[in-house]
């Protein structure tokens, strides 16, 4: 395996299994012993030793040595025969493991956080982080704290998966206690814990067990209290220290500037709080402020969001306000909190977290790192990356909230239809999106975004062959209504672009409208992916690939990823990176019934000289449209920068395949063209 290559996608690995166990997605499966017991109850007949053997270099039954799939963290494949029961135990589908190890860990953490119940506001929650070396004193402390009315949540896994297990432990906590010895937590890991604690505004207490206090203070001096415990008994003074560090949280309330605001409910509302500067250098304050302001400006461009201005949220600078207080002050549903710190001499780190103010539930969190030589050059890229991942989180949360409340204002119907536009298989047409946009227009006939969405859904259906070209004038009419009402809106511009793309018009106006949509919403990966598609096919292939790859970066492991894979695969084929294009298209399996995906895959195989594979790809087309339509697409929509001879050769292959396909279906009518829509002929 090449250096840095990760072969853990589509494989149930020990790294993934440990994440499932540590996240406790099933309350009774919190360790390997419990997993072995559950597997045995399902007829597996496996012992704890057998489960443990999966995490080593040999199979539990046959002593067959297995290489690590990822040497950095020794991840091994679990015998495939065991997968079905393991997935059933944790409530997963086979498709859920279509992620590499680290992406799977992140996803499991997100699910674990979503399933956490919001604790009683009157019960103080303590996060406790320790390893086996400190388990005796830590468990003794835990027992006393619980007896005195505290809620304690702990983690044994901090040395293995700090990025998510520590954050899971910290969720909803009011203070954190970290146990340190000279044999357990490394300095880098302690820094990770400190990062999470600070972005969650948690006071930190360190219990030092047989470790030099001076050395710890020198390396990680961010703890508010250091307590020494040289014994295996309860830590002296721990509860008093907890009460002291938590007391400011009970009493520190910023001065109120106005009356309590009602929650803004007509659409999702958010406030971006000033980012906390944890670098220890006041010179970075300007950068932290610029980061929050840029995110606010980008979110303000999203038509479905109500965003509080940065001039208002600036009143929270140098404060650690509770999300409930922000809700009372500003009437917002969501709060974005963030912090920055120096990761090492060459990098700085931005940590951001989205919180639901109605229940203080963390909906999303992410850490971003950049080189620190010129941090201000990175502001745009970081702000775009953060907003790109916030948007689908907020949209999905509001869709679920609307379903729960049986609420159906036009904007909610529009955003649900918009979400489905890029995650539904669009063949034969994006019918669910069409229905939702139509319902939104019934609620509010003048709502411009519903007109834009309806137009885009119609054009998409025509493009993929599910709707008749006779619907194109209707799509154009709705696009014009949306554009007249909202000329500086990304969705309106994209609606016009799509209605032009499905007509026999030059591509330059299409590119102009898509470029404008991308400028208006630079954090929207869909527009950027489509921009990459157009640039690549119009002869600017290298630039197109760059834009399509950036779109993938903006939307990692998003439900819309298959759509972006389709766009990137097209751009790669236009850039004559045929083998990689074929590989990328495998991630667009959701679109397998769309004829264009197989047309492009066939072209890639043709250019690689594999005629058999090209014919096999074309045979995957479910309902071929007229040959003249495909020839028009090759001439005027696809690979405009390629040599005419290459395209003519492919058209010849298309013609021979088409005749064979028709002959196979109707031997006595080989020349008869099949019925179907022709969006451009």
Which DSSP string do the residues of 292-327 spell out, in sequence order? HHHHHHHHHTSTT-EE--HHHHGGGTT----HHHHH
Q: DSSP secondary-structure letter at 121?
A: T
Tally the C-alpha atoms within 13 A of residue 316's C-alpha that lie toward its C-beta: 26
pLDDT tens digits, residue range 505-532?
999 999 999 999 999 888 888 899 999 9
**Residue range 58-70: mean pLDDT, rounded:** 69
Cβ neighbourhood burial of 400 (10 Å; 0-12, 13-18, 19+)? exposed
* Domain boundaries of the chain, sorted by first residue: 14-115, 125-251, 269-404, 408-522
Please report where in the chains the tokens 């090209």 appear, as a residue.
Answer: 614
Which positions ≥6 away from 235 have C-beta within 8 Å?
A: 137, 140, 141, 207, 227, 229
Quick check: do 125-251 and 408-522 share a fold?
A: no
* SS3 of residue 393 by DSSP: helix
Q: DSSP secondary-structure letter at 539?
A: T
- What is the pLDDT at residue 120? 58
Task: State which H helix or E strand residue 355 sits in.
Answer: strand 347-356
Under CATH, what is the fold of the domain 125-251? Answer: Rossmann fold (3.40.50)
Alpha-carbon distances, residue 513 vs 35, 158, 516 (angstroms): 55, 49, 5
Do the Cβ atoms of 357 and 323 come closer than 8 Å?
yes
- Quick one: CA dihedral 78, 84, 86, 87, positive or negative? positive
- What is the pLDDT at residue 256? 53
* SS3 of residue 244 by DSSP: helix
Q: Tell me: domain 408-522, CATH 2.50.20.10, correct?
A: no
Judged against a pLDDT cut of 50, whether residue 681 lies above it is answered with no
First to last CA, the chain: 49
**Residue range 100-114: mean pLDDT, rounded:** 76
Judged against a pLDDT cut of 60, whether residue 595 lies above it is answered with yes
Strand pairing report for 334-344 and 347-356: antiparallel
Which positions ≥6 away from 618 have C-beta within 8 Å?
A: 598, 599, 602, 654, 657, 661
Do the Cβ atoms of 620 and 598 come closer than 8 Å?
yes
Do the Cβ atoms of 315 and 278 come closer than 8 Å?
no
**pTM, to two decimals:** 0.62
pLDDT tens digits, residue range 533-564?
999 999 999 999 999 998 888 776 666 678 88
For 661-680, letters b (16+ CB in 10 Å) and e give bbeeeeeeeeeeeeeebbbb
- CA-to-CA distance for 492 and 506, rounded, in angstroms? 19
- What is the pLDDT at residue 575? 96
Do the Cβ atoms of 162 and 193 come closer than 8 Å?
yes
- What is the pLDDT at residue 653? 95
| Angle (CA) 442 443 448, round 5° | 85
Given this structure, which CATH class describes domain 269-404? alpha beta
**Residue range 670-674: mean pLDDT, rounded:** 36
Which DSSP string do the residues of 337-351 spell out, in sequence order? EEEEEEEETTEEEEE
Cβ neighbourhood burial of 609 (10 Å; 0-12, 13-18, 19+)? exposed
Residue 153: pLDDT band with limits 50, 70, 90: confident
Task: For the chain, give percent helix, strand, coil, nearest 5.
Answer: 55, 10, 35
Which positions ≥6 away from 403 have C-beta within 8 Å?
A: none
Mean pLDDT of the chain: 80
- What is the pLDDT at residue 219? 62
Judged against a pLDDT cut of 50, whether residue 157 lies above it is answered with no
More confident residue, 492 or 350: 492
pLDDT tens digits, residue range 237-278?
888 888 777 765 544 444 555 567 777 777 788 999 998 887
Nearest Cα to Cα of residue 79 among 104, 117, 50 = 50
pLDDT tens digits, residue range 82-105?
888 898 888 888 878 888 887 888
**Residue range 168-190: mean pLDDT, rounded:** 68
Task: State which H helix or E strand residue 680 sits in.
Answer: none
* SS3 of residue 77 by DSSP: strand
Q: DSSP secondary-structure letter at 533?
A: H
Strand pairing report for 151-155 and 125-129: parallel
Residue 222: pLDDT band with limits 50, 70, 90: low
């Amino acid at each position: 395996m090449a250096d840095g290559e990760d072969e853990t996608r589509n494989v149930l690995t020990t790294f993934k299994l440990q994440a499932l166990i540590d996240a406790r997605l099933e309350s009774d499966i919190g360790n390997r012993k419990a997993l072995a017991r559950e597997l045995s109850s399902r007829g597996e007949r496996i012992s704890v030793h057998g489960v443990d053997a999966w995490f080593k270099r040999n199979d539990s039954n046959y002593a067959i040595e297995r290489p690590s799939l990822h040497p950095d963290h020794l991840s091994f494949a679990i015998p495939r025969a065991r997968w079905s029961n393991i997935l059933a135990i944790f409530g997963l589908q086979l498709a859920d493991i279509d992620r590499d190890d680290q992406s799977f860990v992140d996803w499991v953490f997100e699910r674990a956080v979503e399933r956490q119940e919001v604790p009683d506001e009157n019960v103080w929650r303590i996060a406790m982080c320790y390893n086996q070396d400190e388990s005796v004193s830590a468990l003794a402390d835990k027992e006393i704290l619980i007896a005195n009315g505290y809620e304690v949540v702990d983690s044994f896994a901090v040395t293995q998966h700090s990025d998510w297990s520590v954050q899971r432990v910290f969720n909803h906590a009011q203070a954190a206690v970290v146990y340190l010895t000279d044999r357990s937590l490394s300095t880098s890991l302690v820094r990770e814990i400190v990062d999470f604690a600070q972005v969650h505004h948690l006071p930190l207490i360190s219990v030092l067990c047989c470790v030099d206090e001076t050395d710890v203070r020198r390396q990680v001096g961010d703890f508010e209290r250091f307590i020494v415990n040289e014994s295996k008994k309860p830590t002296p003074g721990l509860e008093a220290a907890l009460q002291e560090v938590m007391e400011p949280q009970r009493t520190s309330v910023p001065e109120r500037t106005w009356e309590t605001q009602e929650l803004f409910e007509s659409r999702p509302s958010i406030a971006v709080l000033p980012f906390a500067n944890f670098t220890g250098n006041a010179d970075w304050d300007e950068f932290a402020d610029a980061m929050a302001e840029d995110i606010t400006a980008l979110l303000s461009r999203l038509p479905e969001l109500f965003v509080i201005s940065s001039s208002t949220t600036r009143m929270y600078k140098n404060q650690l306000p509770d999300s409930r207080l922000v809700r009372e002050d500003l009437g917002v549903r969501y709060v974005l909190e963030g912090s920055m710190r120096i990761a090492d001499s060459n990098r700085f780190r931005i940590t951001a977290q989205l919180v639901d103010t109605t229940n203080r539930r963390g909906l999303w969190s992410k850490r971003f790192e950049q080189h620190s030589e010129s941090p201000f050059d990175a502001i745009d890229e970081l702000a775009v990356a953060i907003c790109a991942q916030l948007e689908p989180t907020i949209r999905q949360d509001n869709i679920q909230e609307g379903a729960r409340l049986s609420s159906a204002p036009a904007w909610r119907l529009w955003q649900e239809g918009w979400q489905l536009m890029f995650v539904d298989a669009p063949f034969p047409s994006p019918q669910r999106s069409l229905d939702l946009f139509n319902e939104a227009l019934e609620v509010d006939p003048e709502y411009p975004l519903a007109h834009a969405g309806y137009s885009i859904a119609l054009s998409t259906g025509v493009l993929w062959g599910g709707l008749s070209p006779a619907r194109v004038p209707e799509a154009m009419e709705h696009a014009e209504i949306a554009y007249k009402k909202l000329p500086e809106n990304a969705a309106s511009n994209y609606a016009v672009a799509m209605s032009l793309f499905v007509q026999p018009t030059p591509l330059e106006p299409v590119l102009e409208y898509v470029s404008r949509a991308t400028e208006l919403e630079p954090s929207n990966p869909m527009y950027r992916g489509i921009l990459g598609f157009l640039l690549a096919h119009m002869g600017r292939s290298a630039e197109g690939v760059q834009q399509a790859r950036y779109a993938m970066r903006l939307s990692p492991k998003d439900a819309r990823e298959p759509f972006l894979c389709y766009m990137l695969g097209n751009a790669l084929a236009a850039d004559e990176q045929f083998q990689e294009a074929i590989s990328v298209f495998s991630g667009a399996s959701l679109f397998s019934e769309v004829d264009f995906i197989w047309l492009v895959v066939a072209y890639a195989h043709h250019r690689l000289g594999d005629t058999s594979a090209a014919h096999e790809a074309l045979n995957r087309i479910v309902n071929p449209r007229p040959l003249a339509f495909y020839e028009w697409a090759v001439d005027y929509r696809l690979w405009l920068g390629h040599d005419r001879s290459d395209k003519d050769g492919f058209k010849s292959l298309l013609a021979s395949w088409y005749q064979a396909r028709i002959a196979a279906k109707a031997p006595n009518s080989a020349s008869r063209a099949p019925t179907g829509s022709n969006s451009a002929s």
